[in-house]
Amino acid sequence: MSSTSAAAYVTLTAVDNSIEGADFLRRRAEVLAAQTRGLEPNSDERRRMLTKVATYAEDWMAALPSLPGQVPDDDDAVAALDGREIAETATDIDAVLEALWSGVDRVGVNESSGRFFGYIPGSGTYLGALGDYLAAVTNRYVGVKPAGPGAVRLERRVLAWIASWLGYPPDCGGDLTSGGSIATQTAVVTAREAAPVEPEDIRRTVVYLTAQTHHAVDKALRIAGLKRAVYRRIPVDAAFRMRAEALNEAIRQDRKAGLRPWLVVASAGSTDTGAIDPLPALADICAAHDVWFHVDAAYGGAFALCEPGRRKLAGIERSDSVVFDPHKGLFVPWGTGVVLIKDRNAMARAHAYQAAYLADFSADLGAHDPSPADLSPELTRPFRGLRVWMTLQLAGVGALRAALEEKLVLAEYAHLRLGEREDIEVGPPPDLSVVIFRWVPRDRDSNEANHQLNHALQDDGRIYLSSTIIDGQVTLRLAILNARTHLAHVDDAIDAIVDMTKKL
Ligand SMILES: *Cc1c(COP(=O)(O)O)cnc(C)c1O
């Protein structure tokens, strides 16, 4: 309400009630305050609700090992939510939790399950959820440093820790984002401003990627106003990795033609196949041609934490920017992405902002802890770092390191076991933890057969796989990244796949 209409409202009601203005307002404020009681439960009520919520969470955690990878869409279950009206007065927590259970948590794919192998799995750490609970209760403000110096420092510590094992300097720019997509957008906008790519340059500006590049990159470029730039899809080799010599040649040709090579996007763990582009060779080419080198490690980045993964990801430290999703590889709840940009000032030039109402919080870019808002498209945002920090503190990094190496081992194992079957054709040995394969029965079209197999497995629900299309071929993927996926789950998955091929 504008101040004029607010004043008009006050005057009218005060006159109608024939009471002195200030007295009337005082009484009205007290009546309204009494009606807000439901917003602030007392200590007994809080304990009662928290116990119910904790019991719900405990029931979920206890059921998880036996919950399927997916419960197929169930309109009746979801309709339970429609029956739960959003009412004028408070509803008891039992009824609320019942609606949540039947309408939300019982249906759809179950990313928290060790039997979930679709897309790129998440997990959700219980330890991270405890951090989310506290972050929401205390509601610390992490947009600007002076408002929450401790919270901002904690997030910087998390970013510096990630930077340390991705090989980035401690004073690099970085932001905790809602996910890989916004992290990618932050990197693209920073690279655009660093060049800079002016509107009149767009049509001669060239981006290099492959057919395997995640669509989040195309989306980020489009949102950044660059959809009219020139896109060069560089061919990949038999293991789906960008051909470095083809990239070098494309850049040379473009330069000669008067175009402006600007950005190379490498995948360090592509979504379809988990392939890692040849990072050292690409880094050399980008350095030689003075092109921004971006690495999309949203899925694969976490593997740099364990020794075998670190070797596979060598060269990632030579990029100008990198994106990594803790809500995938560090297993924490959804809503956690990271972008690191080697040149912190470039990131600030693209994102820092001054506003009259923030004058108390003037940008201090040289500071050890810059304000997150100066390096981010966001101002106010959740205290995302706490869910990562709590997970690291309460589990210990060793547990995460082991979980990641375990996924690499399980992927190699699944590749070997699937490869033993005559009617299954496996893809190249996995660079990371995605195993691709196709069922190739003699008696029918294999695209049709793989569609059928995928749907039959999804309907069965014991495990959840997803498919993709590579070079026109329907291909199944076993993406092994859930923290709860262990050997027994991979054995279950292989058994389910083999059983199903026999039934179909
Ligand atoms: C998941 C993913 C993204 C997108 O990240 P979101 O967190 O889903 O926004 C981008 N690139 C790759 C390689 C991914 O695996």
371-412 confidence digits (pLDDT tens): 899 999 999 999 999 999 999 999 999 999 999 999 999 999
Contact 124, 332 (CB under 8 A): yes
Which of the four pLDDT bands, split at 50, 70 and 90, describes residue 312?
Answer: very high
What pLDDT is recorded for position 17?
55
Residues 224-277 have pLDDT tens digits of 999 999 999 999 999 999 999 999 999 999 999 999 999 999 999 999 999 999
Radius of gyration of the chain (CA): 26
Q: Is 435 helix (H, G, I), strand (E, B) or coil?
A: strand
pLDDT in tens, 352-374: 887 666 555 445 555 567 889 99
Start-to-end CA distance of the chain, whole Å, equals 64
Q: Which of 396, 345, 398 is nearest to 374 (CA)?
A: 345
Which one of 186, 271, 384 would you pick to mutate in the ligand 1 pocket, going by the greatest count of ligand atoms within 8 A of its CB? Answer: 271
| Residues 399/373, Cβ–Cβ less than 8 Å | no
Tell me how far the alpha carbon of residue 338 lies from the centroid of ligand 1, in angstroms: 11
CA distance 358 to 362: 7
CA torsion angle for 467, 471, 472, 475 (degrees, to 10)?
-20
Q: Report which protein residue has its CA nearest ligand 1's atom 12.
A: 298
Binning pLDDT at 50, 70 and 90, where does residue 459 land? confident
Q: How do strand 205-209 and strand 230-233 relate by DSSP bridges? A: parallel
Cα of 240 from ligand 1 centre, angstroms: 18
Q: Which of 83-92, 284-293, 309-318, 443-452 has the lowest mean pLDDT?
A: 83-92
- Ligand 1: residue whose CA is nearest its atom 6: 180
Token digits for 39?
Answer: 């917003």
Percent helix, strand, coil in the chain, to 5, is 55, 15, 35
Distances in Å between the Cα of 461 and the Cα atoms of 70, 414, 441, 457 are 5, 19, 23, 6
pLDDT tens for each residue of 200-220: 999 999 999 999 999 999 999
299 close to ligand 1 (CB < 6 Angstrom): yes
Q: How many CB atoms lie within 10 A of CB 268?
A: 29
Look up residue 497 and give its two tokens: 């796949």
Q: Residue 84 pLDDT more than 90?
A: no
Strand partners, 475: 468
The reported pTM is 0.93
CB distance 337 to ligand 1 below 6 Å: yes
Q: Distance, CA 140 to ligand 1 centroid (Å)?
A: 27
- Could you check whether the bond before residue 196 is cis, i.e. omega within 30 degrees of 0? yes
Residue 266's φ and ψ, nearest 5 degrees, are: -100, 150
- pLDDT exceeds 90 at position 4: no
Phi, psi of 431 (to 5 degrees): -65, -40
Measure the CA angle with vertex 46, ends 43 and 48; round to 5°. Answer: 110
Confidence at residue 488, expressed as pLDDT on a 0 to 100 scale: 96
Query: Among candidates 136, 179, 154, 149, which has minimal Cα distance to 389?
Result: 154
**Residue of 123, 294, 303, 325 to mutate, ligand 1, most atoms within 8 A of C-beta:** 325
Q: Which ligand 1 atom is nearest residue 214's CA?
A: 11
| DSSP H or E run through 209 | strand 205-209
Domains of the chain: 3-39 (no CATH), 43-110 (no CATH), 138-393 (3.40.640.10), 397-503 (3.90.1150.170)
- Give the whole-angstrom CA distance, residue 180 versus residue 326: 9
Which residue of 299, 338, 468 sits with most ligand 1 atoms within 8 Å of its CB, as the best mutation to test the pocket?
A: 299
Q: Could you tell which of 177, 214, 295, 481 is best to mutate to test the pocket of ligand 1, judged by most ligand atoms within 8 Å of the CB?
A: 214
Which amino acid belongs to residue 485?
T
Residue 5 pLDDT exceeds 60: no
User: Is 168's pLDDT higher than 80?
Assistant: yes
pLDDT at 111: 87
Question: Could you tell me if the CB of 276 is within 6 A of ligand 1?
Answer: no
Please, which pLDDT band fits residue 3 given cuts at 50, 70 and 90? very low
> Can you give the pLDDT at residue 366?
53
Tens-digit pLDDT profile for residues 484-493: 999 999 999 9
Find, among 218, 299, 300, the residue nearest to 265 by Cα: 218
Residue nearest (by alpha carbon) to ligand 1 atom 15: 299
Residue 236 Cβ inside 6 Å of ligand 1? The answer reads no
- CA of residue 180 to ligand 1 center, whole Å: 5
The pLDDT mean for the chain works out to: 92
For residue 73, pLDDT beyond 80? no
